[in-house]
Structure 1
Amino acid sequence: MYKLIIFFLLALPFGVFAQTVTTGTVFDYSKKTISLPGVSVRNINSKKTTSTNREGKYTIAATVGDLIEFSAVGYHTDTLYLTNLLNRTIYLPVKSNSLADVDVRGVRMNSQITDAKDPLAEKYTLLNTGGNLQRKRMTDKVGGLNLNLGYGKYKRQQRKEADLEEKDMYLEEIDQNFSEKAVTELTKLQGEELKSFMVIYRPSVELVKAERPYRYNYYISRAYVAWQKLTPQQKKLQDLPKLKEN
């Protein structure tokens, strides 16, 4: 009897701890086997912060409904809304390094920059420095620089359109496979519970894109197991906390 009491007394702190923290590992989105150390992990609700260790693992105090923010130099910041405190795997995509657009309409280029004969070259012989400074004739030759501003802007626009088309494709796939009919057939959920389940556990584009082909039935089954462990209050859709204006 005494041994049983001691066991419960020793187990209680660990049980309480397990219910008040969330854990996980952060990986590079493109190279999913590479964990990311030093990622800043912040609980937006409680303002508590920590960072991932050498293996990319983190532990932070949290409760269901908190917003957890992940940020690192060179990576896009990601925010997670906690529907439960289970161990999670986070993937951060790398920021693309691109030069900012440059407006060069006010610059007049020196005809000596190129040896090509251009009938309009005479119009580009002066550099307008603006202000009270005098206009100075450019005499230094520039080599190894190829300006292709129009093409660069067009290429970026094409890339954006391609990304949007790809995202629409994945969203359409998710709508078809994570539908009310598909979820009901596997889980037997209906009514408000079905709506809540589909909002809380709807797979993201990044999740579906990371695993091809994506196993929707397997995902729905796992999500339903997690759903059954939620309390009635947790199963209800909760309003996201309002963020303070900067």
Structure 2
Amino acid sequence: MYRGNFTFQLIFGCLLFVVLSQDLCAQQLRVTGRVYDITGRNPLEAVTVLTTSGRGTITDSAGKYSIAVHDDDSIWFSYLNKPTPKYAVRAIGNAYNFEILLHVNVSELRPVQVMPPSYKRDSIQNREDYAKAFNFRKPSFGTSINPSTGGVGLDINELINMFSFRKNRRMLAFQDRLLREEEEKYIYSRFSRSLVIRLTNLRGPDLDTFMIKYKPSVEFVEFSTDYEFQSYIKTSHQRFLRIKKMMSDFRKDT
């Protein structure tokens, strides 16, 4: 009786060990490989790799991926919002090198261009956004011609607008503010913090003060050569340091 119970426990323990081992192996299974375009020559980066159990990863710059799966899982790939069919893990011949070609051609993909900051582009966009304000002109007496009679008369709309004093003042003030902001951006597009730092090595509050105190005129920004412009910054920096030293000495004396 004792021997029978022992045999049963031994068999049960072995079966339990086999089941747990298989489950553990299933949890530790991984599928690795690479993803290429339709030519098979160009690896694809940033392809999403997903499993039916909810795991996910993306391919690196070499098109490589590695993802943990269950034995009863399926995996699929998604690129440019286009998913592939699902592939059952059990049907994958070599889980350590599962390569796949996607129906895209790298040579036909349009590159995404990240445009750097541009004063000219921003200025054009600003004038388009506020075209009504930039194109505003103070109303004046105007004349109109009647095509049927050929007679000349007053432009009624212009006459009405002439007496909209509050509206006209508001539009002119807004236009003036937009023009000043545009001029300011134009100056700082050339008199940039990066250029001043490179030529003077100023940082922090000193840099902030210098940028305000020695901001050049719009005419100088427009017509000076690169040599003249950089010489101005260097000369202004020397003057800035002298004044700073004088102020420091003055505080010490007082």
**TM-score using structure 2 length:** 0.27
Higher-helix-fraction structure: 2
